Amino acid sequence: MSMGRIWSLMFLSVPILGTGMYLIGMLASSGPLALWFPENINPLAVEIDRLHDIILALIGVVFIVTSVALFWFMWKYDATSNPEKAKFVHGNHKLEVWWTVIPAVILIMLAIYQFKVYADVRINRPMLAGADGTLGTADDQPEPPSFEVIGRQFEWRIRYAGADKQLDTADDIIGEVNELHAPKDVRLVGSLKAADVLHSFFIPALRLKNDMIPGTRQIVWFQASKPGTYDIVCTELCGWGHYKMKGRFVVESQEEFATYLERLRKAQFDRSYDNGSPSDQPVSPTEQPAVATVE
């Protein structure tokens, strides 16, 4: 077999291995070959999966057709079996118009379809009824976040709103590092911040992914429909310890969640009491001992 034909077979292996890996990843439900998305437990993000599948199907078809065409032309017009010199022709106007118009129409359709998905997960923030008690009127207020995650090198710091349902107040409950809890079937609004550099907060099972940008606050919302423990990962290379930014996202019943918050609140009170500095009497900066920094 000529060298040209060996090369064309090498090119053919790309679509075969590529689609093969996709199929294995889609079919394997557990183990190292389960490369697909985890189950979507966020009913507010079902459309993200649908949009993803449509785009994947479109690019899948284009990928297979172009790869196979590349193989076929390399195979058929291999130099050894075609001693005749190639003839160059000027382009085909009609063909060029079609292969411009069809992708343009597909892209415009995708652009229109994604408007709604984007608005649902990024723009149409959950609202609460205002003074008139009716939702959908002019005095509606954006629902305040009930938890906050701060990304810092290299961990997630978590805080929950206390009984007043507001963050940044005295009754805030300090969560455990790298562990976010949420009650099942409750729509939650959260606030994301960064303490140092860019991080990206990602809970794959919720299809929730948002950059954390120093100096700004990002608002996200979701609803978790299935109890369990899921991954939290950082998807922005944020420094040498980026790989350490793994966390757990725990979905539990509303009663379990309330018990968890109460346990955190008690632990927080006990800690401040043990230190001899109750949280309502902050130590003034001048009295604080010098802190040694270890890098």
Query: Using CB under 5 A as the criterion, which residues of the chain lie in contact with Cu ion when the complex forms?
Result: 199, 234, 238, 245
Dist CA 14 CA 4 (whole Å):
16
Which tokens belong to 80? 């050894």
Q: Residue 244 Cβ, how far from Cu ion at the closest point, in Å? A: 9
Run of H or E including 202: strand 199-203
8 or 200: CB nearest Cu ion: 200
Q: Residue 12 Cβ, how far from Cu ion at the closest point, in Å? A: 40
155 or 252: CB nearest Cu ion: 155
151 or 183: CB nearest Cu ion: 151
62 or 195: CB nearest Cu ion: 195
**AA letter at 265:** R
Backbone angles phi, psi at 99, to 5 degrees: -80, 0
Q: Residue 231 Cβ, how far from Cu ion at the closest point, in Å? A: 14
220 or 245: CB nearest Cu ion: 245
156 or 260: CB nearest Cu ion: 156
Preceding omega of 269 cis (within 30 degrees of 0): no
Q: Residue 264 Cβ, how far from Cu ion at the closest point, in Å? A: 23
Answer for the pair 12, 71: CB distance below 8 angstroms, yes or no.
yes
Q: Residue 157 Cβ, how far from Cu ion at the closest point, in Å? A: 12
Dist CA 71 CA 10 (whole Å):
9
161 or 192: CB nearest Cu ion: 192
Dist CA 93 CA 22 (whole Å):
36
Residue 86: burial class (beta carbons within 10 Å; 0-12, 13-18, 19+): exposed
Dist CA 91 CA 125 (whole Å):
50
Contacts of 20 (CB under 8 A, 6+ apart): none
Run of H or E including 49: helix 46-76
Q: Residue 250 Cβ, how far from Cu ion at the closest point, in Å? A: 20
Q: Residue 251 Cβ, how far from Cu ion at the closest point, in Å? A: 23
Of the chain, the end-to-end C-alpha distance in Å amounts to: 61
